[in-house]
């Protein structure tokens, strides 16, 4: 079994996927700010609903940002903890620009960065093809097309990279974290 976590964008999405790359069940909440407590609850719910034990899960797929600072960390910490205990689960990661790209042609991806700011980059052939910039604009975030993901699970998951050393996985931050600092 495989579990996909997307906690970096405004939505919360977690999916249980079979070893044959078939979607078993997903849970999707739109515009959720507080995701920390959802992760263990939804993880357990997906397993329980489908009579799956954690020992049957062999792969985690994580969006590591940029995007929400907390969202970039929480699924990574959760999965890393389970992998340290279970030891037989692989972690695959993707950065948010590549995750949000729904086509091979060049197009701009815009990721909410807090306040009125957005991270912007052009993506072509599922690779970042320009400098990542920080722009102040009105709300024009690129949203993940989860229906497209669900219809093309194998292709979508093939864009993730396997990370053999879980201690070296870091969230993709474009700005420095603001934790513990005073806002100016």
Q: Decide the pairing of beta strands 2-6 and 127-128.
A: unpaired
Q: Each residue of 64-108: pLDDT tens digit?
A: 988 887 888 899 999 999 999 998 999 999 999 999 987 777 788
Angle CA(12)–CA(10)–CA(144) in degrees, nearest 5?
A: 80
Sign of CA dihedral 170, 127, 15, 8: positive
The model's pTM = 0.88
CATH superfamily ID and name for 2-101+144-168: ATPase, nucleotide binding domain (3.30.420.40)
Residue with tokens 């489908």: 50
Backbone angles phi, psi at 55, to 5 degrees: -65, -20
Q: Each residue of 133-184: pLDDT tens digit?
A: 888 876 566 788 899 899 999 999 999 999 999 999 988 866 555 555 554 4
């Amino acid at each position: 079994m495989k579990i996909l976590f997307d906690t970096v964008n405004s939505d919360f999405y977690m999916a249980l996927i079979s070893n044959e790359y078939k979607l078993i069940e997903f849970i999707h909440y739109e515009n959720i700010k507080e995701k920390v407590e959802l992760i263990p609850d939804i993880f357990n719910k997906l397993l329980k609903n489908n009579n799956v034990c954690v020992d049957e899960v062999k792969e985690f797929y994580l969006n590591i940002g940029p995007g929400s600072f907390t969202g970039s960390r929480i699924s990574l910490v959760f999965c890393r903890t389970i992998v340290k205990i279970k030891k037989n689960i692989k972690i695959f990661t993707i950065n948010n620009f590549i995750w949000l790209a729904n086509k091979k042609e060049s197009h701009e991806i815009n990721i909410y960065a807090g306040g009125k700011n957005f991270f912007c980059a052009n993506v072509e052939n599922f690779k970042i093809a320009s400098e990542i910039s920080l722009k102040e604009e009105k709300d024009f975030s690129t949203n993940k097309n989860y229906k497209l993901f669900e219809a093309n699970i194998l292709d979508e998951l093939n864009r993730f990279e396997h990370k053999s050393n879980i201690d070296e996985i870091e969230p993709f931050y474009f700005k420095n974290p603001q934790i513990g600092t005073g806002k100016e």
